[in-house]
Amino acid sequence: MRQFIKQTFASLIGSLAGLMLFFSLGTVGLLGLIIVAASKDTGPQVKDKSVLIFDLSLSITDTDPTSSTSAAIEETLSGDQADTITLRTVIDSLDKATNDPRIVALYLDGSRTTTGTETGLATLKEVRQAMERFKASGKKIIAYDVDLAEKEYYLSSVADTIILNPMGSMELNGFASQPLFLTGALEKFGIGVQVIRVGKYKSAVEPLLLKKISPENRQQLQALLGDLWSEFLTTASQSRKVPVPQLQAIADSQGVLTASDARQRKLIDKVAYFDEVVAELKQLTGETKEDESLRQIRLTSYADVPAKQGNNRSSNNKIAVIYADGEIVNGEGGVQQVGGDGFAKQMRQLRLDEDVKAVVLRVNSPGGSATASEIIQREVRLTRGKKPVIVSMGDVAASGGYWIATYGNRIFAEPNTVTGSIGVFGMLLNVQKLANNNGLSWDVVKTGRLADSQTISRPKTPQELAIAQRIVNQIYNQFLDKVAESRKLPKQKVAQIAQGRVWSGIDAKQLGLVDEIGGLDDAIKYAAKQANLGKDWELQEYPEVRSLEERIIKKLTGNSHARNQELPDPLTQEFLKLKEDLAILQALNDPKGVYARLPFNWRLE
């Protein structure tokens, strides 16, 4: 399809007749032309004894970030490969390949992941489980890399054979989180920050108040990273038959291993060049001639290959998967945001749709606006009153992300899901010092003591802070009540495990915050069971992704921006992190200024 559309557009745009046709037909006519032309394309072809190529540099996300932009068409017209793929696409493609006799092996290509994947560990676990099903069918998995990072090794360790380039290296040094603190910069520029919060572990505001990690935050981060690292070690140990203590000793003593060292310690199987890997793959496909090209198909293309007849599920009974993916904000939301109003509207539509028999709420969010979270949660509760609502937690479902999940009939999380963070904070900024340093000042006339309490021209008075603290306390108590009621836990226990503390999925299950350890597929199967659908159901995903033809029209009538694919230098990477942190501040739009959110700059390094 990609090559066909590219050639079609080259013909249309490259000729005067094509341009005249475009202007005479208009948008609707062009759309019809594209649909008719595209319908003649037979799609990607799979040859017998082919190798499925999985590029590990792809970022795996819950939702397609190109669904609301023209990026998909830009990729089509330029010939560039997409750099993201959805989790459902990966899992469905791997399961389809497991039962496809034309696919004989899976090749994990890690040679492009020079900076390491941004995909979260919980997502990688679900992908890994799909790979295990592929392997269990008797088909081979071959992994090759040049510089093998820990996340890539988490996936690659399932392979029958792991191969590292002779000049390559392998990272095995543990997990770290290195928050960036803005306090000194804010002080330097004269921006004042006053914070109101509940929960001694509610560390989201620490980057604006402190210059290093607080003891409470250090404690919770150490515990969380310890759980994530333990799950990594256990998984790698089972696949590679290397004891966990031995893996830990390597991490503590070496950190980075050469290819030969990694092989000697049985962390990988072979040291070889890329051409030697290709030769090994050719043996699996039965090709003997040196000049013969490897029979292969990339996973991104294979996703468009129809499943074998009889495997396609079609039914009037729908299970809806609705994705809460990104920052929770007030209003409609935008790209990688969960808008309280927009998401609630979608949930209402699913509740009223008689064909939708169950809803799977997939949460991959650090939280955000407390008001938006409550708006969404209300719709979740109402929907649960009419049909099962099953929650699947992804890489992170914390604070506001946990808020919207609490009233699900059943909550699933992976062992390495980051969840909890039951706490609330408010952030009050003022620019008095910044303005005064530049010759600016304010004066005020008012009819009441608190008339100008929302101003940023000065710090809040003790009375104003007390009022704000009272609001935060009330919202925190509402949070505790909702968790206690929905999870059937004593409020006193909830108060003990709340305090804004984050937990791993495995700890959250032990504490009663989640019900089962499992991924998105597990949640979908459970939803079908709860709705008594047997095998008579069809999956639908929301928000719905716009069709390629709709994206083409968007592309032709909008602006295009070339993406910079060059790898940033280390200094630029730090500035990009700062840009991300400042973007989070821009997303803080709760009307009360109260938030239920993870630490601003939570990253796993």
Confidence of residue 21 (pLDDT cuts 50, 70, 90): very low
Q: Average the pLDDT over 328-349 and give the result.
A: 93
| Residue 14 domain flag | yes
Q: Average the pLDDT over 129-143 and give the result.
A: 97
Q: Say what the pLDDT of residue 95 is.
A: 96
Q: Average the pLDDT over 145-154 and give the result.
A: 94
Q: What confidence tens digit (pLDDT) does each residue in 542-576 have?
A: 987 655 555 555 445 444 333 334 445 554 555 56
Q: Say what the pLDDT of residue 561 is.
A: 38
> Catalytic one among 399, 460, 509, 555?
399
Structure tokens at 520: 């998105």
Using the predicted structure, report yes or no on whether residue 466 has a pLDDT greater than 50. yes
| Residue 29 domain flag | yes
- Please give the Cα distance from 520 to 390 (Å, whole number): 10
CB 257, CB 169: distance < 8 Å: yes
- Please give the Cα distance from 332 to 330 (Å, whole number): 7
Q: What confidence tens digit (pLDDT) does each residue in 470-516 have?
A: 999 999 999 999 999 999 999 999 999 999 999 999 999 999 999 99
The pLDDT > 90 percentage for the chain reads 65
The pLDDT > 70 percentage for the chain reads 78
Distances (CA, A) of 494 to 74, 202, 216, 220: 49, 15, 18, 17
- What's the 3-state SS for 536-554? CCEEEEECCCCCHHHHHHH
Distances (CA, A) of 25 to 98, 229, 454, 557: 45, 59, 54, 14
| Residue 338 domain flag | no
Q: Say what the pLDDT of residue 546 is.
A: 56
SS3 state at 60: strand
| One-letter amino acid of 430 | N
> Catalytic one among 202, 387, 460, 509?
202
Q: What confidence tens digit (pLDDT) does each residue in 172-229 have?
A: 999 999 888 989 999 999 999 998 888 888 888 888 889 999 999 999 999 999 999 9
* Mean pLDDT computed over every residue of the chain: 85
| Residue 30 domain flag | yes
Q: What confidence tens digit (pLDDT) does each residue in 267-295 have?
A: 999 999 999 999 999 999 988 676 678 89
- Please give the Cα distance from 300 to 83 (Å, whole number): 10
Looking at residue 411, what DSSP letter applies?
A: E
Q: Say what the pLDDT of residue 559 is.
A: 41
Q: What confidence tens digit (pLDDT) does each residue in 51-83 have?
A: 999 999 999 999 886 544 455 555 555 555 568
CB 161, CB 182: distance < 8 Å: no
Task: Specify the pairing of strand 410-413 against strand 356-365.
Answer: unpaired
- Please give the Cα distance from 129 to 414 (Å, whole number): 12
Q: What confidence tens digit (pLDDT) does each residue in 75-122 have?
A: 555 555 568 899 999 999 999 999 999 999 999 999 876 666 789 999
Radius of gyration of the chain (CA): 26
- Please give the Cα distance from 242 to 274 (Å, whole number): 26
DSSP string across 70-111: SHHHHHHHHTPPPSEEEHHHHHHHHHHHHT-TTEEEEEEE-T
Q: Average the pLDDT over 453-473 and give the result.
A: 92
Q: Average the pLDDT over 429-449 and give the result.
A: 90
Confidence of residue 24 (pLDDT cuts 50, 70, 90): very low
Confidence of residue 23 (pLDDT cuts 50, 70, 90): very low
| Residue 35 domain flag | yes
DSSP string across 553-591: HHHHHS-------SPPPHHHHHHHHHHHHHHHHHT---T
Using the predicted structure, report yes or no on whether residue 3 has a pLDDT greater than 60. no
Beta bridge partners of 564: none
| Number of folded domains that form the chain | 1
Q: Say what the pLDDT of residue 366 is.
A: 93
| Residue 489 domain flag | no
Domain that holds residue 23: 1-43
Q: What confidence tens digit (pLDDT) does each residue in 400-421 have?
A: 999 999 999 999 999 999 999 9
In 132-234, which ranges are E strands?
A: 140-148, 161-172, 192-198
Q: Say what the pLDDT of residue 442 is.
A: 87
Q: What confidence tens digit (pLDDT) does each residue in 28-50 have?
A: 455 454 444 544 556 688 999 99
CB 121, CB 232: distance < 8 Å: yes
Q: Say what the pLDDT of residue 87 is.
A: 95
599 CB-near residues (< 8 Å, 6+ apart) = 179, 203, 204, 206, 207, 217
| Residue 11 domain flag | yes
CB 142, CB 161: distance < 8 Å: yes
- Please give the Cα distance from 278 to 263 (Å, whole number): 20
| Residue 323 domain flag | no
- Please give the Cα distance from 317 to 299 (Å, whole number): 29
Structure tokens at 436: 């005064």
Sign of CA dihedral 205, 206, 207, 209: positive
Q: At CB < 8 A and 24+ separation, what contacts does 237-245 make? A: 239/157, 239/158, 240/157, 240/266, 240/267, 241/266, 242/266, 242/267
- 399 noted as active-site residue: yes
Using the predicted structure, report yes or no on whether residue 372 has a pLDDT greater than 70. yes
Using the predicted structure, report yes or no on whether residue 11 has a pLDDT greater than 80. no
Confidence of residue 541 (pLDDT cuts 50, 70, 90): very high
